[in-house]
Amino acid sequence: MRTPHNGRLATWLAIVFLAATLLIVALDLAGTRQQGEGEARNQAASLSLLLEERLSSGLRETNLILQSISDSSQVQALLQNHVLSQEQQQKLRQLADAKLRQQAYLTRIDVLDSACATLFSSQRGDTPSQLKTDYCRWYHRTGVQDTGFMSTRPDAGGKNIVLALKLLSPTGEPLGMVIGTMDRQFFQSEVSKLPVGNHGEILVMDLRQVLMANWPAYPRAQEQPLGELVATEVFSRHEETLLFSANSLLDAERRIYSTRLVEGFPLRVLVGIGERDFSRPFNDKATMALLAWLFTAALTIVALRSHLAGLRQNRLLADSAQRIRQSEEMARLILDTAPVALLLVAMGQWRILRANAPARELLRMPGPPPGDKQADRTLDLPLQLAPLSDWLRDGTQADKEEVELEREDLTRLWAIVSIQYLPDHQPPAALVSLYDISSRKALEQELEEKNRQLNDMAVTDPLTRLANRRHADQTLKEEVVRCERYSQPLSIAVFDIDHFKQFNDSFGHQAGDNVLLAVANSLVDGTRGTDVCARIGGEEFLVIFPCTRLKDAEKVMQRVQMMLARTIFPFTDEKVTFSGGLTAWQPGDTPSSMLSRADKLLYQAKMSGRDLMLSDKED
């Protein structure tokens, strides 16, 4: 008589259980959705900052190039006299060509007088009128104190970017301008480097809302203002940045945007992360959660029906058994569609009995014939995946082990491997799960390489690639400590290049850089691998000779002098020499006392006629 009551109680318990699990799944999915949106905000903010820094750096580099052009004596003479000698014209053209090679996207350099007439152009025979350009109007605008200006309007040569630098006399009166023309491809090249996903969007606009560059490419009118994005939700707002969600002006897709002004220039960058990108993990998890909940619901229903079947008549047993078989089939289907690669390997024979779709794709197995459902589940392939094959033969236990695997075609991948042995299975088998982490490992290796490069930059002079002053001081301090402890010999040489300022004044800073590079190459070629060569000033160098006596260090420096004397420079017939002092460690010496002694010897060498290396014994 209690059977109907027990059946109703079991039914209500099952309903409450399934409702509770569904609520838990819904709350977990809501958290996943919120987390994905937060990650998208952080990604948009960091990418917009990175793009703003790259654009600002490139434009500032161009301004520095224009500043170096304006500081040249030829440009100053041209603005004052409006004419240059043939030799000065040649030097100015060589200087402009050298600066154009420094910046790949800088295509042209012009020098204009105060009337906005072109006095010099890096493109021969091309001197267009400049009287109606933005920067000419800016130059003649009264009350303007800025010495730099940027125009993003189309010029006569096409849709380029123009940077203008006002040149002033010593009294502060404007003399003219140096104009640099950049290819807009500079913006597009920087935009194309940012990883914003398959459905992201990147926009670079000027203050008129005119599009300068974007990703992906859309058919558009380049010089028509786009208008302002209408924010549907604002997440954060600062002086120059805004984080918000909006529908794109180009494709109407919803994205999370971060907008930022380019510091010092009339540009604004927008980086948008597509909702389809940051909601993909949520959708995948929702699909898996729904399948898992359906699986749980199916098992619950099966258990409930099994319980009710015991209370009902025996005629319902056949129907219950059929439903159980359907549930087991659903469970196998869910495992086959799981996102983790799963392999069922027969022990002893070491052959793959089953592999789901991710496993077939990961191990590059042939797919089943279309429509053959049995072939989709059953395989009979040899397991050739080192070292996983050896682990199974040895009975090795594995639980989320990170290992590099070698496939049958000798290609490699990194994966997280777990092994579950099934001795009761017929035949005995092992269930292997594989999770591909090759992309993560590649990112880790890339991060290690970048850290190594940053460490090298911290101790290296950027021009000569020798050690910098900080690294040299630290090395000398360590060597002095070693001398005090073990009484080992130590010698140092301090020298600078003779008449170096004349090279810069006569042939330009590029020639001076070439001289510094030649001295650095002679040091590297003439010294040992254990010696430390450093650039410690403008044209001043330091060489540390560990475990080296003074007379041996003198021979090395003589060899370096001879190598440098044989170096031929295209801009002068004179040989490059240097003068300096050599000294050895003495008991009680400190790094500063050794450097001071070497500096005094350097000064004596300069006073004695230069091209000399004086040592303590000559003091």
pLDDT tens for each residue of 225-253? 777 888 888 888 887 788 999 988 888 88
Q: Is 184 within 8 Å of 69 (Cβ atoms)?
A: no
Task: Give the pLDDT score at 495.
Answer: 94
Q: Looking at this protein, which amino acid is placed at residue 177?
A: M
Alpha-carbon span 327 to 425, nearest angstrom:
20
pLDDT above 70 for 335? no
pLDDT tens across 409-438, in order? 778 888 888 888 888 777 888 888 888 888
613-615 sheet: strands from edge to edge: 532-535, 540-546, 490-497, 578-584, 613-615
Report the distance separating Cα 526 and Cα 534, nearest Å: 14
Predicted pLDDT at 155: 59
Tokens, residue 417: 């491997």
Q: Say if residue 129's pLDDT is above 60.
A: no
Question: Rounded to an integer, what distance in angstroms lies between the CA atom of residue 241 and that of residue 261?
Answer: 7
pLDDT of residue 341: 81
What percent of the residues of the chain are helix, what percent strand, and what percent coil, each to the nearest 5?
Answer: 45, 25, 30
Phi-psi region of 400 (alpha: psi -120 to 50; beta: other; left: phi over 0): left
pLDDT tens per residue, range 505-554: 888 888 888 889 989 999 999 998 889 999 998 889 999 999 999 999 99
Cα(first)–Cα(last) distance of the chain, in Å? Answer: 120
Q: Which amino acid is at 336?
A: D
Architecture of the domain defined by 459-618: 2-Layer Sandwich (3.30)
Q: What is the token pair recorded at 532?
A: 């430390």
Where in the chain do CATH 3.30.450.20 domains reside? 32-58+187-278, 71-183, 340-442
Q: What is the pLDDT of residue 602?
A: 92
Q: How confident is the model at residue 483 (pLDDT cuts 50, 70, 90)?
A: very high
Strand order in the sheet with 398-406: 381-382, 351-355, 341-346, 429-436, 412-422, 398-406
508: left (phi over 0), alpha (psi -120 to 50) or beta: left
CATH superfamily of 32-58+187-278: PAS domain (3.30.450.20)
Whether the Cβ atoms of residue 520 and residue 466 lie closer than 8 Å to each other = yes
Place 450 in a pLDDT band, splitting at 50, 70 and 90: confident
pLDDT digits (tens, 9 = 90+) for 359-387: 787 777 776 655 555 444 567 778 778 88
pTM over the 0.75 mark: no
Percent of the chain whose predicted confidence (pLDDT) is above 90: 19
Cα 315 from Cα 320, distance rounded (Å):
10
Residue scoring higher pLDDT (128 or 208): 208
Q: Which of 202-211, 488-497, 553-562 has the lowest mean pLDDT?
A: 202-211
264 pLDDT higher than 90 = no
Mean residue pLDDT across the chain: 83
pLDDT surpassing 50 at residue 583: yes
As a whole number of angstroms, the distance between CA 62 and CA 67 comes to 9
Q: Which amino acid is residue 43, in one-letter code?
A: Q
Among the residues of 192-279, which ranges form H helices? 275-278
CATH number for domain 71-183, candidates 3.30.450.20, 3.30.1950.10, 3.40.50.970, 1.20.1730.10: 3.30.450.20
Domain 340-442: give its CATH superfamily: PAS domain (3.30.450.20)
Q: Where are the beta strands (DSSP E) in 11-144?
A: 106-113, 118-121
- What DSSP line would sit under 388-413, residue for residue? HHHHHHHT--EEEEEEEEE-TTS-EE
